[in-house]
Structure 1
Amino acid sequence: MSDEIDVIFLGINDAGMRVYEWLCDRDGVFVHSLLTTREQLRTIEDVRPDFLVSCGYRRLVPESILEIPTEGCVNLHPAYLPYNRGANPNVWSIVDNTPAGVTLHYMDSSLDTGDIIARRTVPTDFEDTGKDLYRRLEDAQVDLFRDAWPDIEAGDPSTITQDSDAGTYHETTDFKELCRLDPDETVRVKEFLDRLRALTFPPYDNAEIEVDGETYYVDIDITKA
């Protein structure tokens, strides 16, 4: 009987691929599968792994699946929970002026609400665009996972229970609404600049405004003097 820890990995984005490759190279760990679609979740029922590890998987995993891994299911989220649960945390850290960071937590039946295993803040600057912060959060996720995984392997990580009434949450629809700029809106300059830089993520066109029947896309570049 193998002494290796059996893992199934859910993903994937750039940070997820780096974590996946790190796990694949780690002694004592056998990563059975990399799953990216809802239909592939039946693999977890067949394999019945020790751990389910998620990074970049954009769907809510059913509770019936979460109950299968014998040692638990963990997820990397690019936010300092309980702030910025849900979608686009890099954007909302800038727009809402909430702490930017990364969190490794146990998965439960809700989105980003499980017990926190480890978390750390990530520094920000007024020059940051949404893309700048996203890249910094990616690096921080990988570092956090590498530091926290040995305690998970050992079976005794310390955890923090999240307060369901604390923090913030945003859906994809909130992001889409944020992208639509109203030419007649009255704004505070600093808040509007925060909104524009949060939505700046080339090559994607996010912030948009309609003027005289034409749609224009808006990016911003802020440089420190």
Structure 2
Amino acid sequence: MNSDLEVIFLGVNDAGMRVYEWLCERDDVFVRSLLTTEDQLSVIPEVKPDYVVSCGYRHIVPEEILNVPTEGCLNLHPAYLPYNRGANPNVWSIVEGTPAGVTLHYMDPGVDTGDIIARREVQNDFSDTGKDLYERLEDAQVNLFQEVWPRVVGGDITPSEQDLSEGTSHQTSEFDTLCRLEPDETVRVKDFLDRLRALTFPPYDNAKIEVNGETYYVEIDIKRE
């Protein structure tokens, strides 16, 4: 294994920081920078690292940057790709009943569309809130990366192309629409409970309804018997 691998890390959330710190502790890696904003991406052509690793980074990386690392750009996404590409995958797994999970994949110019290196399904129970599943996905991302990284740098992987025709994708605007509850809408009970539990993520106020000119925020707590 190459002891001089240079990595630039892109990330900002809790899972990203945990992966970043794990890489920093390894003897086979020199993490040159931790980048969190778009304007910092100019560092990558200057350094020309072996790898770029992303987890929790909130910006699209331009193709000219993706082409710089000699060994490629890797991203950890909290979804079982090709399902739930894009924003809020924990929410949509609950709302749409798609598989929940995590994926390590190569980055390409699309949003979470690159070849899959490894992925793992994560349990999604009816009593889960969006926050419960989010935290479980964070742990699974860290565990998956720690297990797969030695195989990546050792050349012991066979990436697979995503079948995007079978997948799903969501934007932040769809989440905003999901949060607005209409007083007169007709829903199936199970679907509505799934929606409410997906949007329950304390301390954030997500699901909201306007009644008699007043706005109310809604959370739900489902307990197993």
Please indicate the TM-score interval, normalised by the length of the shorter structure.
Answer: over 0.9
1:124 is aligned to 124
Judge conservation of contact 2:84–2:92 (CA < 8 Å) in 1: yes
Offset at residue 164 of structure 1 (A):
2.5
Q: Provide the secondary structure at the position in 1 that maps to 2:166.
A: coil
Q: Report deviation, 1:155.
A: 2.4
Structure 1 runs, 4 residues or longer, greater than 4 Å off: none
Shift of 1:90: 0.2
Q: Deviations over 1:100-157 (max 9, x none)?
A: 0000000000000000000000011110000000000000000000011011111231
Letter of the 2:5 partner, please give it. Answer: I
Count of aligned pairs: 224
Alignment of 1:73-152 (within 5 A): 73-152=73-152
Q: Which residue of 2 aligns with 1:201?
A: 201
Retained in 1: the 8 A contact 2:101–2:120? yes
Shift of 1:3: 4.1
Question: 2: CA distance between counterparts of 1:15 and 1:158?
Answer: 25
In the alignment, which residue of structure 2 is the partner of 1:170?
170
Q: Report if aligned partners of 2:3, 2:27 keep a CA contact under 8 Å in 1.
A: no
Q: Secondary structure at the match of 1:216?
A: strand
Q: Counterpart of 2:90 in 1: which secondary structure?
A: helix
Return the letter of the residue paired with 2:8: I
Give the Cα–Cα distance (whole angstroms) in 1 for the partners of residues 117 and 3 of structure 2.
Answer: 24
1:158 aligns with 2:158: yes
Aligned to 2:35: 35
1:69 corresponding residue in structure 2:
69
Take 2:156 and 2:47, find their aligned partners in 1: how far apart are those partners? 24
Identify the residue that residue 23 of structure 2 maps to in structure 1: 23
Name stretches of at least 5 consecutive residues in structure 2 with no aligned partner. Answer: none
CA offset digits 1:158-207 (Å, max 9, x no partner): 11100122210000000000000000000000000000000000000000
Q: Which structure 1 residue ranges, 5 or more long, are not aligned?
A: none
**How high is the TM-score relative to the length of structure 1?**
0.98
Give the residue type in structure 1 aligned to 2:167. G
Tell me the distance in 1 between the aligned counterparts of 2:156 and 2:97.
34
Structure 2 equivalent of residue 12 of structure 1: 12
1:28, distance to aligned residue in structure 2 (A): 1.1
Q: Secondary structure at the match of 2:73?
A: strand
